[in-house]
Amino acid sequence: MPHTWEWKVRLHLYEDDDGTTKAHLILDTGTTELTGHGAAHRHPADPNVPEIGDELAAGRALNNLARQLLKTAERDIEGMGAPQPHGREAAGWPT
């Protein structure tokens, strides 16, 4: 039963007054929205390279979102009655 879906991702990056870069990531599946968050703090002795803060904050937000997606999938699989096998990250599905 093949299917094709398009999920939309919006990533917002901003720097606050204390020099912390923050990322706010929204995944819209058409039926559900998940939000990921990430932040990066530059040490005062480090050179100011905004791209690095953006990359770190965005990567951490994506990582946060990935963990949420995997937990959601695990709950959905368990809701279908699939047993939780040992040694796998997601129940019933190899990862």
**Blockwise average pLDDT, block size 10, the chain, 95 residues:** 94 92 97 96 89 97 97 90 63 54
Contact between 69 and 34 (Cβ < 8 Å):
yes
Confidence (pTM): 0.81
> Among all chains, which residue has been given the structure tokens 């709950």?
75
Q: Is residue 86, in this structure, part of any structural domain at all?
A: no
**String of DSSP letters for 34-50:** EEEEEEEE--TTS---H
Query: What are φ and ψ of residue 13, in 5° steps?
Result: -115, 140
Q: Residue 21 belongs to what domain range?
A: 8-79
At residue 57, what is the residue type?
A
The predicted pLDDT at position 86 comes to: 61
Q: Is residue 88 part of a domain?
A: no
Please report whether residue 27 resides in a domain: yes
Residue 41 confidence (pLDDT): 95
Q: Residue 93: inside a domain, yes or no?
A: no
The verdict on residue 87 lying in a domain is no
Domain-embedded: residue 94: no
For the chain, how many structural domains are there in total?
A: 1
CATH of the domain at 42: 3.30.160.240
Rg of the chain over CA atoms, in angstroms? 17
d(CA 31, CA 38): 24
